[in-house]
Structure 1
Amino acid sequence: MTVIDIHCHAAGIGAGASGCFISPKLRRSWKYPIYLKSFGVTSGELEREGDGLVLRRLSERLAASSRVQQAVVLAMDGVMDGRGDLDRDRTEMYIPNEFLARECRRYPNLLFGASVNPSRPDAVERLDAAAAAGAVLVKWLPSIQGTDPADRRLIPFYRQLAKLGLPLLTHTGQEESFSRADNALADPARLRLPLEEGVTVIAAHCATSGQSHGERNLARLLPLFAQFPNLYADVSALTQVNRWGHLERVLAHREIHGRLLYGTDMPLPAMGLTSPWFHLLRLGTMEARRLAAIGNPWDQDVQLKLALGMPEEILFRAAGILRNNQL
């Protein structure tokens, strides 16, 4: 059976006419060189070979995994201004669908995850184009893109998502990877509207970080599982050092095990943020040492999550959820 990582990121600086960009503020950040290193590239290499190099390196590293066969690589739409145009001044990272779809077609182990900000005047048309280009899901980062999932003006967008059979993978909980975020928009309770409209919604990170209205976000997400069979969540990033204990907290709710999907939030595991040594008290020295010796980041991520109690069937569920996935 095929194991698919549904939550894998790309990057680009605009090299090779990719259309990508990273804001000057983010490029000046201490995080920028670390991100490049985690993708296995340098700025010089990207300038010479183009941003497609990120996808080639990603595919090569994934091909060396013995546990994970495919990964959904996520585009990143930007912030829109009052006219519905891309606001470059407020967008920290932009990875256009056209670039990512083209590059993913080069590698059978990389699946195209589109991103469409619904504030665009042509958002529905962009959804259609993404589906035609082979998108298997649509990714949102509401707290960064300025999208309110509860806005009823998005109903036509949701209905088209449901018609196309495109799942919506949307960040839930506190966002910490960018320099600014409106975390009120990542309140999982705001997902009720797309769920009511029949969209298959995947709550990224299972809302394990932060609070909304004085209540833990995970507590606000859990009741929705009982109400909506079209709600899922991924386990990406739940073993990071800044999310210590989050995977165990999610797995304690056995009633949602059948709704959990496997994801990594790559390249963050390649940055050492999910080292087994952070889980020494739970694993013990010998097991932590064994897991730390696994060189491939996907293989280590799978084995670590299994060691922490993740049921193995979670690894195989995404193949039945993604749109038109060709296995």
Structure 2
Amino acid sequence: MRYKSAIDFDAIEAVDMHVHYEIDQCGHASLPQDYIDASVAYFKSGERLPSADTIAELYRELNMAAVIFTVDARTQLGHLPNSIDDLVASAAKHNDVLIPFGSVDPRTGEAAIIEATRQVEELGVWGMKFHPSLQGFDPSDPQYLPLWRKISELGVPALFHTGQNGIGAGMAGGGGLKLRYSNPLLLDDIAAELPDLKIIMAHPSVPWQDEANSIAIHKPNVYIDLSGWSPKYFPESLVRFASNMLAGKLLFATDYPLLTPEKWLGAFAELPIKDEVRPGILKGNALKVLGVTPKA
């Protein structure tokens, strides 16, 4: 099964760049059960593991597309991820609304490079997702540069979790997750060495928002997705730059099912930003990152 998009990017109203698909058709979840239980308590969300059918139905009704992904953290968690092949097959079934991103565990070395290549070239994923804290690695470590170089050569963006970690919150020792691996400054080295690699820093990067702003403003290949936080809680500096220096760098993203598109958009409408930058945040900037050229 190879994914091929049938999305009418001119007709949709928005692209949600951050949606979790964390349980495959065999019922295998991306995280051990205790991590899932802790995340439900932390986020106070509704359905924690929606099916691809549920996700597609929601975004179809909203006239939006959604980037779906999981995270391969097998080394850190001792738990295999849900199937990437199943994720891609599910996106292909709903290719009018869903876009698949892949994931590999950087700590598996050469195997990660081989698997990333397979996912892009054979499965047709449109990007790769990483969560340094959950996967337990420092993305600036030179040992991972060959992986980032290969992803750059494959021509797809790399999406990295940054900032506060909801996963592991409330667990003993935070579930073993180290927050420092999610400092956006660790991505600046990659952005500098691989200027053709599009890097997306996921989430407002609390407590390092100024660092994230600086990187996105300084590096043409770096973007910020706005997932995981209701816009009413966005750091003031992020909102201030949204209408000017970051206008072309911000991406609509929710973290669904942890935050619904309806709630995000309702709060986004209240932000004091220029009306003319809103369409870019909701769709235009995402099309640039994804390499989509509108017909109009």
Normalised by the length of structure 1, the TM-score is 0.73
* CA distance 1:172–1:314, change in 2 (3 Å): same
1:314 pairs with 2:281: yes
Alignment of structure 1 residues 136-285 onto 2, 5 Å: 136-178=126-168, 179=171, 180=175, 181-195=177-191, 196-198=193-195, 199-207=197-205, 209-210=206-207, 217-239=208-230, 245-246=233-234, 248-253=236-241, 254-270=244-260
* CA distance 1:32–1:97, change in 2 (3 Å): farther
* Residue in 1 that maps onto 2:113: 124
* CA distance 1:167–1:100, change in 2 (3 Å): same
* Residue in 1 that maps onto 2:19: 8
CA positional deviation for 1:149: 0.8
3-state SS, counterpart of residue 185 of structure 2: helix
* CA distance 1:62–1:225, change in 2 (3 Å): closer
Q: Please identify, of 28-37 and 159-168, the stretch whose mean Cα deviation from structure 2 is larger.
A: 28-37
CA positional deviation for 1:156: 1.0
3-state SS, counterpart of residue 259 of structure 2: helix
Q: Please identify, of 255-264 and 23-32, the stretch whose mean Cα deviation from structure 2 is larger.
A: 23-32
Q: Distance in 2 between matches of 1:30 and 1:60?
A: 24
3-state SS, counterpart of residue 31 of structure 1: helix
Q: Distance in 2 between matches of 1:29 and 1:141?
A: 17
* Residue in 2 that maps onto 1:135: 125
Note the residue ranges of structure 2 that are not aligned, 5 or more in a row. 1-9
* Residue in 1 that maps onto 2:7: none
Normalised by the length of structure 2, the TM-score is 0.80
Q: Distance in 2 between matches of 1:236 and 1:159?
A: 26
Deviations along 1:47-101, one digit per CA (max 9) or x if unpaired, are xxxxxxx1101111111114xx2000112101416xxxxx52xx4x833312211
Q: What code does the residue aligned with 2:72 have?
A: D
Picking from 301, 305, 320, the partner of 2:268 is 305
3-state SS, counterpart of residue 58 of structure 2: helix
Q: Which has the larger radius of gyration?
A: 1
Deviations along 1:104-131, one digit per CA (max 9) or x if unpaired, are 1110211101111211131111111111
CA positional deviation for 1:28: 5.2
CA positional deviation for 1:262: 1.1
Note the residue ranges of structure 1 that are not aligned, 5 or more in a row. 42-53, 82-86, 211-216, 271-297
* Residue in 2 that maps onto 1:106: 93
Residues 5 and 262, structure 1, Cα contact 8 Å, conserved in 2: yes
Residues 251 and 257, structure 1, Cα contact 8 Å, conserved in 2: no
Q: Which runs of 4+ in 1 moved over 4 A?
A: 27-30, 32-36, 323-327
